[in-house]
Each structure stands twice: as C-alpha cells, then as structure tokens.
Chain A
Amino acid sequence: MSSEPTPAGIEQPPGILVPLRIIDGESVPEGLVSLLSGSRVVLLGYHKLPEQTSPSQARLQYEESATKALQDTASLFRDADIEVDPHLVFTHKVDQTIDRIADETDCTAIVLPRPAVGMDNLLIAVRGIVNARRIAAIAGPIAAASDISVTILFVRGEQTTDAHVTEVLNEAETTLQDLGVAAELITTQIETSDRPIRKIADVAVDFDAVVMGESESTLLGRLFGQSSERIADRFLGPVVVVTNPNL
C-alpha cells in the first residue's frame, strides 16, 4: 500500500462507504458496482431501530436474513474483483454508525447509492486547491478503472480571479493524471453563477455520476447535507460525497 501514491493524504485505492438499509431490502443499484470498480468498498448494511427496541433484540430476529442479504451484496462486488469489506450494524443512530465505520475503515467518501443508467462520463465539482486535490483523489480511480471521461467543473463567482480558477483546475487535472486518467479524457468547464449548487445540479444532468465535496459535521449530514442534498434532489444518479474536502 505504501508504494501507491497518496494524493491529499488519501490512500489508494480510496475507501468508499456504501450504506444500505439491508433489512428493508435496499440492494446495490444498477451501475454502482462498475462505478466503484477502482475503489475499495466498505459495505455497511445497517438497520435503524426505534429506541423502544434494543439492538440485541433486533439482532435476534433479523441477523440471519440480514447476514445473507449482506453476503449476497458483497459477492456482487467480489465478482467484479473489487475489494469489499462488509459490516452489519444494528443501531439507533445511523449518523453515528456511518461516522464510526468510516473512521475505522479509513473511508474518505460516501456514496448515495442510486442507479446509474450507463457509465460513460463523470462530473467532479471543485472549489479550492485542497478541495480539488481530495475530490480528484477519489474520482481518479473511479474514472481510471472504467476509462470514462471526466469533466472538472468550477463554478466561479464575480470575485474569483482567473489565476485561482486555473490553479484549482490544474491541481485537479494533475491529480487525476497521476492516478492514471488519460489526459485526453479530461475536460474542464468553467461556469459563472452566484448560486453554485444550482449550477452544479444543472450541469450534472448530462452526466452519469457526480463526485463532490461536503463539509457538514457528520457523514450522514454530508450525504444529505445542504449542497449534496440539493444536488441529489435534482440529479438522480449516484453521488459520491467526499468528506472534509477542505481539510
């Protein structure tokens, strides 16, 4: 592992958390396996309980079916030669569980598991230097593994200097290339808007998946946090949310 490049301190292949409500029958949506083929998948099958129910009580009843469903799901990833680490957790607080598992397994991104129709192009939305490096470190292996084109999107405001825009886009591009994405597959797109989230959502419609950052305090908050949630509202494919993008 140590010989691999670790851009922005993110180990390669990067760990991506896939949370699934396993007992409610949520399964891996179509296209997600191939999206994650260059990543290390941490599969979190969780069951959220009302506080009236002790987790051990739910385990008593659901363990068998949940374990089977989780193993079946894990084998989908294994069959595609993806390193997968399944976890089954009974919990009252999903955000606490997601944070703990992500921390224990060194996951720097979480995916909102939704179907991808095809997997031809990927949009990554960047904002600053560190942000660009971290997001590209997650997006790189995704794009490199399936040889798909990547568009780096920078939504600038009135105040943004051209130099900054160029620097950020270059940073993302270099990181992507370091991670094996062919230069000819990378394009950049610059938009100007006071409402970057809305703009990203508008652009995302033409893509199969989005990788973006979110700096909410909890992972679940990030997943359903302000910006990623508003994009997820309008963009119906998988969204990979990179945690602490400005770290």
Chain B
Amino acid sequence: MGTESESVGNIGSGESATTPDEITDGAAVTVHQDGVQLERTIGLIGGLAIGIGTMIGAGIFVFPGLVAERVGAAGAISFAIGAVVALLVALPASELATAMPRSGGGYYFISRSLGTGPGAIVGLGLWLGLVFATAFYLVGLGHYATGVLAELGVELSISPVIPLGLIFGALLTVLSVTGTENTAALQNYIVGVLLIILAVFLSYGGLDAVGIVGEPTTPERYVWGLQPLISTAALVFTSYLGFAQVATVAGEIKDPGRNLPLAMVGSVIIVGLLYVFTILVGTSTVGSAALEEAGETAMVEVGRELFGLAGAVAILFAGLLATISSANASILSCSRAIYATSRDRLLPLRASEVNRRYGTPHIALAMSGGPILLLVATGEVELLAEVASFLHLIMYGLICVSLIALRRREPDWYNPAFRMPGSPALPAVGALASFGLIFFMNPVSIGVGFVVMTICYIWYRYYASDVELKNKL
C-alpha cells in the first residue's frame, strides 16, 4: 500500500487544481504547456451517437406504457415539454462547453464559474445521478430481456426482470474494465440500426394512423390539465439526460467549437421528435389502455399490431440494443464524472487511477458499477428515473445560472466559440424550468434526491472544504 499510494500522490503533479497549466486547443489536439498532446478523436457523428445512444433507450422503449397510463396520448405533449426544457439547457451547456472543452461537462462549468460548493454538489451528484440513470436503464433492459424469454416460450416461476438487469449490469461493468477493443464504432452502428428500425415503424405506423394504410385510427384517450402533463414531463425527463453526457467527453471532441453545440442540440431535437411521434403512433395503433397494460415493454405490442410477430421481435431486439447502449454509455460517463471530481481532489485521486494491464479507470468504473447493481436490485423504475432526473435537473439549472454569471463577469479566460442567443432571458427561463420541473415529481423521489444532494454537500464540507476551483482552468 505504502509505495502505491505514494506514486498515486505524485502523478497529480502535472495537472491539478493548485497548479494551473497553460493549455492550447487545436481542432484535433489539446497541447499542454509542457508539450504533451492529447488527441481529440470523437467527431460529430460520434458525439451525436453518445447523445442519442444514451437517451433513446428510455424514451422509446421504457416510458410509452408508463406515460399512457398517466395521460394517454397527451403524453406526446409531456415529451415535447421535456424537449423544450432540455433545449433550454442544451444551448447554455453548448456555450459553456465550447469555452471549457474539458472532461467533466456540467461539473466542470459549474465548479469554475460558481465555485467549489455548487461544483461539488453537481459533480458528486452527477456521479450518483448517472448511477440512478444507469440502474433505470438496466431495469428497462431486464424487462426487454424478459420479453425475449417470454417470446421464446420460457416460463419462469419468479420474474426474471431484476436478475437479468443485475447480470447485464455486472457484465457491462466487467467489460468496461477489461474490454480494450474499440467499441465507439459499434455504438455508432447500434444507434444507426435503432434509428432505421424506428424510422420504419414510425412512418408505417403514422401512415396507418392517418388512414393511408388500413383504417384511420385516432388516439382515443387524452388526459388534459397542466398538473398531470407536467408531472409526466418530470418523469420522462430521464429520456433527455444524454445530451449533457456529450459534454463529459468534451476534451475528446474534435473541433469542439462546432461539434459540441451541434451534437448536444442536435441529439435533443432528434430524440425529442422521435419520442413525440412514438407516443402518437403508439396510442393510435393499439390504444393507451393496451400500452398501459404492457408496461415497460409497451412498444413490443405496437410492433406486433403493425407487423405481427416479426414486428414484436424487431422491437424486442431494438429495445435490448437501446437499453444496453444507454446503460453502457452512462457507465462510461459516470466514470468520467468520477475522474473529473477526483482530479480536482473532491474525491481521493486514487479514484482516477488507470489500470496497468487494461489501461482502463478500474476504480472509477467499480465506483459506478457497484452502486448501480445495488439500485437495480430495488427494481423501482419510476423512482430510479425520477431521482436521476432530479440530480440532473439540479445540474441543468446551475448550468444556466453559470452561464448568466459568466456573461456578467466575462473573465479573461471566457471565450466561447459558440454564444447562445437570448441571454440572460433564455438561460433564466431554462434555470426556472429545470428547478421547477423538480416540484412536479413524486415526493418520495424529491426526498431521495435531497438526501443524496445533502450527502454530497456534507462530503464536500468534510473532505474538500479547502479546495478552490472558481476560475481555476
């Protein structure tokens, strides 16, 4: 232990919160003062794939049934509300990311503009928020894997949803530590395949609904009213958590001034449209009562209605891909969040350690995978989704506040390549919308979210009260 912890203590001498380091950003490389170069390797497609790949699993393959249960076809409006809030945050996040294209995303912006305290809440909260989000995706994955078993005619005495979620979670964590094959290209293909399957379903289903193919059908049930629509928007907001994950790899994005805003805003617009259409087509095709009954795998019934068994199988397959892709992307973002906070000494530097054999951040990945498995075991889809949204919404609100603060101060180092229009009004609306959405959540979720946040703050006071991050670039 002795020598090992010593060497871990030394490696930080190059980059830390206390030794500022001149950095030059090129389109394809970041050059540090000492000449060391960090290659930027993720292009626009890769950035979009991270954003879309993280988000798409939840909104299309888990939520439609839950949304139909609450508000019927009006769920499309809830998804649209979520998209607007996400866009209001994606714009300031894009501006901040182009000014600070570093690993850590939202945590980095907030700690540098608002200081260590808010930074710690957001940074540690982002870690835990992603833990909740990943657990949610894994439970969704468990539902789809169960659907596959059911389709194969496998009868089990107990529900295999949670065991399957746990198995996949453990598998993904182990693979993320030991897998050194480049899977980024694979992620791009998965997202591409998903988009194609969805495009086919939505266009055919859309034509079916308006009567060009078969009999016209109408969404038969709407629930109107601001309260149910917004509280549903608060629930499904988990389907929009991916765009900010693009910023956690901001340090690796090529030509960040152009690609970061395009990837963040673009992925929100693409998934937002898909979600809205999915709900409209789903409720028109089988009706919200049938969606509600099918629960987390409601889309399978839509596929079955449109294309028979082949449709059901295609959607099951797509659902598996989508939830795996969301869970995998979130585990990786989670480890980036841990790295970003430990680099700043909000967590022990040890957490950033890279495994000698695999070259992967094994401790950070274990700190992601471990708690994720604990949460999967609860199997509480809605609670997991809402707590994940809560922790992200706090960050989103503070991202908007950071933008307003930086625009007022305009420090020397603040030179974003992209400047959002409508400041300070739009970011102010974004902050209010983000914080406001929290109050429409289930009280239990709000309670759990507050407890997590408070623990983060206490940890900061206890462990890192002497760390100063404001303006430390």
Contacts and interface: CB of A to CB of B under 8 A. Distances in A.
Contacts of A87: 35, 37
- The bracket for how many chain B residues form the interface is 35 or more
B14 A57 contact: no
Interface string A73-88: 0000000000000011
A203 interface: no
Contacts of B358: 50
B219 to A, nearest CB: 42
B14 A63 contact: yes
Given A60-B14, A92-B41, A96-B39, A54 B339 contact: yes
A96 B332 CA distance: 22
Contact of B180 (A50, A91, A96): A50
A156 B211 CA distance: 68
Interface in B33-51: 34-39, 41
A64 B38 contact: no
Contacts of B336: 54
A170 interface: no
Interface residues of A, number: 28
B249 A54 contact: yes
B252 A59 contact: no
A240 to B, nearest CB: 24
Contacts of B34: 63, 67
Contact of A92 (B15, B252, B361): B252
B157 interface: no
Interface in B430-463: none
A49 interface: yes
A100 B39 contact: yes
Contacts of B181: 50
Interface string B180-212: 111110000000000000000000000000000
Contact of A67 (B36, B176, B252): B36
Interface string A41-60: 00000001111111111111
B139 to A, nearest CB: 23
Contacts of A54: 103, 249, 251-252, 336, 339
Interface string B238-270: 000000000001011000000000000000000
Contacts of B339: 54, 57
A174 interface: no
Given A61-B11, A61-B353, A63-B14, A56 B38 contact: yes
B15 A56 contact: yes
Given A50-B359, A56-B103, A60-B15, A88 B35 contact: yes
Given A51-B183, A96-B41, A100-B29, A64 B13 contact: yes
B11 A60 contact: yes
Which of B12, B38, B182, B361 has most chain A Cβ within 10 Å? B38
A164 interface: no
A97 interface: yes
Contacts of A63: 11, 14, 34, 36
Nearest to A99: B28
Contacts of B360: 50, 52-53
A58 B354 contact: yes
B179 interface: yes
Nearest to A58: B354
B102 interface: yes
A93 interface: yes
B354 A89 contact: no
A90 interface: yes
A88 B36 contact: yes
A95 B14 CA distance: 26
Contacts of B182: 50-51, 92
Given A50-B360, A54-B339, A56-B15, A90 B39 contact: yes
B345 interface: no
Nearest to B35: A88
A73 to B, nearest CB: 15
A89 B37 contact: yes
Interface of B: 10-15, 28-30, 32, 34-39, 41, 102-103, 176-177, 179-184, 249, 251-252, 332, 335-336, 339, 343, 352-354, 358-361, 365
28 contacts: A50-B179, A50-B180, A50-B358, A51-B183, A51-B184, A52-B176, A52-B179, A52-B332, A52-B335, A54-B251, A54-B252, A55-B30, A55-B252, A56-B343, A59-B32, A62-B354, A63-B34, A87-B37, A89-B38, A90-B36, A90-B38, A90-B39, A91-B39, A92-B39, A92-B182, A93-B39, A96-B28, A96-B41
